[in-house]
Structure 1
């Protein structure tokens, strides 16, 4: 059903932010958290060229050399399954596609994994959240 009326205006600074602004704020929070854990930023918002490609929110390197591809998800509540449930199969495929494209720059690809950082009031880091299948 299409909503034809005017939606009530949310209150507060965060509620007035655009989706992009909220997403950037979540990525900032996730990046600060991961850097505090010792990871080093390699790329932010990496996109493959052309239409229908993929995008990776954060690409970092662990001290041991593992490249970590991170999907950041933020939700104000855990209704509808929360932030984690929004990383479905299609999103995972797009992240994996972008990661494969990114890894082409290496003569010998390093070990890597796919993590998720979920922000629902607090930061939750899920290592190896999904595989490249």
Structure 2
């Protein structure tokens, strides 16, 4: 797989899951339930939530691109699964950082907003490594044997 195919497929994953987790959940659930801090409108809070989700997804996309780069140059040396799980941990840390740095504060009703911000980079990284990984490392992610048979 080339870099072009990886970029297109990973961006499609990013857009689909961002639309589901942040745009859809924000408009369908959070718009009616969130109570932002004093002085902030609900629409302003939702825009911040969507932006936070975008930042979170970009960080997950960066982890997926690093994995593709590592996999594209993989020549059979040991320690590849350590690199995979290390990047998974990094994507979790990126999600936690995005949650604390960019998610607007709310008094109540934010529901799963923080959870979505935290798991989005991990989800994007895992699905990208599972579906659009380099051929040399396509069997490294968990459950990849089932997908690639």
Q: Relative CO higher for 1 or 2, CA cutoff 8 Å, sep ≥ 6?
A: 2
TM-score using structure 1 length = 0.30
Which structure has the highest strand share of the two?
Answer: 1
Which structure has the highest helix share of the two?
Answer: 2
Whichever of the two has the greater Rg, that structure is: 2
